Amino acid sequence: MQAIGQCSHSPLEAKPNWMPRLWQIWIVASILLLLAKLPNLLEFQAHDPDDYMRLLQVRDWFAGQGWYDTRQYRMNPPIGADIHWVRLGDLPLAAILAPMMLLLPQQMAEIVAMAIVPLLLLLVAMLLSRRLMIDLQMTRAQQVAGLILLPTLPLLSSNFAPLRVDYHGLQAIFGLAIAVLLLRGSAKSVLVAGFAAAVWLTLSLEGLVVVIGAGGWLAWQFLCHKVHDHVPYFAGLATGAILLTTIFRPLADFVQPYCDVLSLPHIAAFGMSASMFLIIRFFRWHDKFLHRLIALVSVATCAGLLIYLPLGKCALSPLANIDPLARAVFFDVFLEASPFYKQPLSVAVMTLYTPILIVVGGYLAIRGESNLDSRNKWITAMVLALIASGVSLLVVRAGVVAQLLALPFYAKLMMEWLPFARAITKTLPRISATLACLALISPVFPTAIASAFDKPQQTELAAAPFLDENANCNFEALRRLPPSKLFTTIAIGPRLLAITNHTVVAGTYHRNDSEIRDVILAMSGPIERAPAILHRYQADYVVICRGDVEVGYLAAISQVGLIRQMLQGRPSPVLQRVLGFGDSLLVYRVLPNQTKQPETPSPRR
């Protein structure tokens, strides 16, 4: 029987010279993404608060802030906000921004750099994806199909789009690199895969389950087939964790048991695992299955205890110990960090559809593969993709990694089913079958269809009565105010820092949960409590936008809250309206006493 994926009747295989090259696909995808994001580029409107914060981190670094010091001192000054990131995530943007600033004015250089970096990461993702498909012995037509699909996938098109400089795309690339290296099979490549896993965890602990899952799969190979690839993998992971922690974090952080970054408990668990696996290899008793099982269970148990005992419940969630009010009102309504069942229907369909396609594509690939080595590579790729998909069911934004790892399976399905659809002789059935094939081989069309049935989320429903859908808040106009401390909603804080010279009280960073709690209490708690909080933070102005969902949500919480009164034109007596910013952007000066003064015009330029 002819191997699946080598069908001679594929029109793309019949004309290999017609097929576009990788760089051509990347250029077309980059142009389309730039055009799609052109309004955002012109208005400097990034996808997420973290994109602005990444820019701020690089700005401060260039301005002389220390390598290890990643606090944001314009948030809750003079103490600053604890941002748990490291400079590793700043390097791509810094590498492009530095030369741009020599050629362009700063603001234009920043916009250009923030447009270029995600597209370069997209190119890297394409190169690694092609390498993965080559190692899986996929045909050139299948490789081209996968590369064309890559920038169309829902999460990939958004996370590799211009202005998206947060580290989710970068994390996905290292997840893909682990898969590529593990499929190479040599001890050296597996060692480097472990190091790549350490880089991913240095960026963010969100990859911990996938990293441990990859190690678990290698341990399973040892258990069933006496393959010792888990030894170099954990050696690379432990060595990389120690080296990268030393490079990117101060020594004080090295010994502090943090649950939201790579810290000593994790490193101890990796080091212990690597050491024990290495020792076990030199004992002859591991020839017996039961002995290997006992050894693996013992190592896994000790590693789990090394992490759980010092970290406790926050070993399972970095938000375990934050303020309950901050979590309930703010962090729990962040849908991107929520499980699939809390998502809109379209997102839930996308998240559930991905592992289904992985299983179907993997089954077709394995069934049609006679070569044992190729079959094992497909199984490994499928296991890693399913682990990443499982994580995305609990944290939807982790689906970026899952969609990258699922790409070979999408391409396999396309090039398996499409030739049969196009071979139908009658026109209408052929067209229908072709469209059905294209609709079924990736999450794009099911997600688009399901989006027509999306219902507003509870947060949006609560906020709707207090929102102005036509609101157009010109935040740049705040530059007319003298440098001041702004008391504003949480998610808007990083953007205001990026486009003005003001400071803010809080942002979307969980280590600063007490400040987030105070913002929530001041905005939505009893209005008589607001003045004390405003004065304690020495706020100069309170700023809100009528079109901000967070504003509407906080207004819905309490009828007597400050933010509801501001929207209704009845703010606290300690606030004085500053005119000249339009009807959508509300700016109030915080008065030092309880006496309400007449309204004053906006400051002159």
Once rounded to an integer, what is the mean pLDDT over residues 39-68? 95
- What is the model's pLDDT at position 464? 85
- What is the model's pLDDT at position 429? 86
Over 80: is that where the pLDDT of 41 sits?
A: yes
- What is the model's pLDDT at position 17? 56
Given a contact cutoff of 8 angstroms between Cβ atoms, the answer to whether 150 and 156 are in contact is: yes
Residue 483 dihedral angles phi and psi, to the nearest 5°: -50, 120
Over 60: is that where the pLDDT of 594 sits?
A: no
Query: Mean pLDDT across the chain, nearest whole number?
Result: 90
3-state secondary structure of 577: strand
- What is the model's pLDDT at position 568? 87
Once rounded to an integer, what is the mean pLDDT over residues 491-505? 96
- What is the model's pLDDT at position 368? 79
- What is the model's pLDDT at position 427? 87
Cα 349 → chain centroid = 19
Higher pLDDT, residue 2 or 285: 285
- φ/ψ bin of 481: left (φ > 0), alpha (ψ from -120 to 50), beta (otherwise): beta
- What is the model's pLDDT at position 602? 52
- What is the model's pLDDT at position 65? 96
How far apart CA 380 and CA 233 sit, in angstroms, is 15
How far apart CA 217 and CA 77 sit, in angstroms, is 47
- What is the model's pLDDT at position 282? 78
pLDDT digits (tens, 9 = 90+) for 417-443: 888 888 888 888 888 888 888 888 889
Question: In the numeric block, which tokens belong to residue 212?
Answer: 């441990």
- What is the model's pLDDT at position 486? 97
- What is the model's pLDDT at position 253? 80
- What is the model's pLDDT at position 3? 41
pTM of the complete model: 0.91
Please report which confidence band the pLDDT of residue 15 belongs to, taking 50, 70 and 90 as the band edges.
very low
What domains can be seen in the chain, in order of their start residue? Answer: 19-324 (no CATH), 325-453 (no CATH), 464-590 (3.40.50)
Beta strands 585-590 and 541-545: pairing type? antiparallel
How far apart CA 346 and CA 336 sit, in angstroms, is 13
- What is the model's pLDDT at position 526? 85
Residue 559 dihedral angles phi and psi, to the nearest 5°: -70, -25
Once rounded to an integer, what is the mean pLDDT over residues 474-486? 95
Q: Please tell me the least confidently modeled range out of 197-201, 406-410, 593-597.
A: 593-597
- What is the model's pLDDT at position 1? 35
Over 60: is that where the pLDDT of 305 sits?
A: yes
Higher pLDDT, residue 505 or 11: 505
- What is the model's pLDDT at position 285? 64
DSSP H stretches of helix in 395-529 = 399-422, 427-440, 444-451, 458-463, 493-499, 513-524
Over 90: is that where the pLDDT of 59 sits?
A: yes
- What is the model's pLDDT at position 286? 67
Query: SS in 3 state form for 277-319?
Result: HHHHHCCHHHHCHHHHHHHHHHHHHHHHHHHHHHHHHHHCCCC
Residue 20 dihedral angles phi and psi, to the nearest 5°: -70, 155
Once rounded to an integer, what is the mean pLDDT over residues 298-306? 94
pLDDT digits (tens, 9 = 90+) for 468-478: 878 889 999 99
- What is the model's pLDDT at position 593? 60
Q: What percent of the chain has pLDDT over 70?
A: 94
Please report which confidence band the pLDDT of residue 596 belongs to, taking 50, 70 and 90 as the band edges.
very low
Strands (DSSP E) along 149-282, which ranges? none
Once rounded to an integer, what is the mean pLDDT over residues 303-308? 93
- What is the model's pLDDT at position 256? 79
- What is the model's pLDDT at position 6? 41
Please report which confidence band the pLDDT of residue 2 belongs to, taking 50, 70 and 90 as the band edges.
very low
Beta strands 503-504 and 585-590: pairing type? unpaired
Please report which confidence band the pLDDT of residue 605 belongs to, taking 50, 70 and 90 as the band edges.
very low
Please report which confidence band the pLDDT of residue 603 belongs to, taking 50, 70 and 90 as the band edges.
low
